Structure 1
């Protein structure tokens, strides 16, 4: 039994997630009609650096203009070690009431989650947003794995955590046989 009290996250189905590059809006409508529980519109790995600003605009337009039905809508922001992450959060959260979750890549320490949580909280208060945005955290480094328990308890917004095997293997210099090889 644990004496750590963590508020229960919003109950959502997490059976399947579909990644869609934000730089390819022609795929948005097809994704909206698909069977995945969660659609994550990607601003990180699937988008070239020169396309990130346009991808962000595409995502804002797509979230606001398309009928996503009952799907959980999530964006994967760029890593906190980049100058893109701030704009990813501010621009999309401020302009997309349809956004349900944020996928935070390469989460290494609880402070990574805290930084995004505080930014999202301020935007929600400013925009008088009633629907609280949840987080999915990607553990993709040895640092993240070493801190996984603290990361899991770092925010009441945490709804899910995933393990990114390819980036983890790269962070530990492990040999891979098929992922990213």
Structure 2
């Protein structure tokens, strides 16, 4: 059990921009972007020979650049690697006051989260930082993590979000997505629907139950904005609240898809107002544009209004 209490902060994560930690130029551009969150990467985007120098770039970027109101984050290497301990110790020591969230990849269960949590607590105590201020976001990209996702979602007060990483997950699950039949139109190998529906729903339900943000991972073909938007919209429809951006061109799409439109807000407000007016007159239901609506309907549309408030679209 953690030895501290922490009220989970409310953050908007419509767009999470992945930025290689070895590139000072890309880090500077990320700070100027419209992304809700930027995570500076030490893991997959950085070659083993460049990881140590990338830590120094990240420290400098976090300390010296103006990040506005963005969520400032960086991704460490997995707990199973030789880089993880120094990824945490060096960067938090160098820039702890300017870190909002640490991203932890390739977890398999709560154990890896506890390890990072404990390290952060020790560093915060040593450095005189507020204990528990730095949050954790984990990637669900191993079958073990998906299998234990409910336990993971409740394992640490630092945990703020889970991200579904379908690239590594497909390999961990032994999926045949790389088979030539998938790309040459062989109907026998085409999955009849969204191949990620179960994993997405499984993680989103765990997140909603635990009060975490559910984030969708990358869409690799950044030259296909329509495909990215379809992927984001599907995740949003299921209850997800954001998606990774591996290219700045994806930020606008994510920010738009994961926020209610003007039309959605107007409809939601109309429904809520109609039900409240009916209740004030002692009626349990109301007629709205030819539809019978009641308290159950209101709950659905209040979700839209709550999201609009979080995104700063209404008071």
Question: Smaller-chain TM-score range?
Answer: over 0.9
Is 1:142–2:143 an aligned residue pair?
Answer: yes
Superposition map of 1:1-181 within 5 A: 8-96=7-95, 97-130=97-130, 132-176=133-177, 177=182
Question: Structure 1: how far apart are the matches of 2:71 and 2:104?
Answer: 16
Question: Structure 2: how far apart are the matches of 1:59 and 1:110?
Answer: 27
Question: Structure 1: how far apart are the matches of 2:25 and 2:144?
Answer: 37
Q: Which consecutive unaligned segments of at least 5 residues does structure 1 have? A: 1-5
Deviations 1:14-46 (A, max 9, x none): 111000000111111111111001000000000
Moved over 2 A (4+): 177-180
1:10 CA drift (Å): 1.1
Question: Structure 1: how far apart are the matches of 2:32 and 2:74?
Answer: 18
15-24 or 131-140, larger mean C-alpha shift = 131-140
1:70 CA drift (Å): 1.2
Higher relative contact order (CA 8 A, sep 6+): 1
Deviations 1:92-144 (A, max 9, x none): 11111101100000111101100000000010111111270001110101111
Question: Structure 2: how far apart are the matches of 1:173 and 1:53?
Answer: 32
Question: Structure 2: how far apart are the matches of 1:91 and 1:70?
Answer: 24
DSSP 3-state at the match of 1:126? helix
- With normalisation by structure 2, the TM-score equals 0.54
Question: Structure 2: how far apart are the matches of 1:33 and 1:24?
Answer: 15
1:89 CA drift (Å): 0.4
Question: Structure 2: how far apart are the matches of 1:64 and 1:20?
Answer: 16
Q: CA RMSD for the aligned pairs?
A: 1.7
- With normalisation by structure 1, the TM-score equals 0.92
DSSP 3-state at the match of 2:156? coil
Question: Structure 1: how far apart are the matches of 2:52 and 2:28?
Answer: 20
Question: Structure 1: how far apart are the matches of 2:55 and 2:30?
Answer: 17
Who wins on radius of gyration, i.e. which is larger? Answer: 2
Query: How many residues align structurally?
Result: 175
Bigger helix share: 2
Name the structure 2 match of 1:3. none
Question: Structure 2: how far apart are the matches of 1:148 and 1:28?
Answer: 32
Deviations 1:44-98 (A, max 9, x none): 0000000000111110111111111111110100011101010000011111110
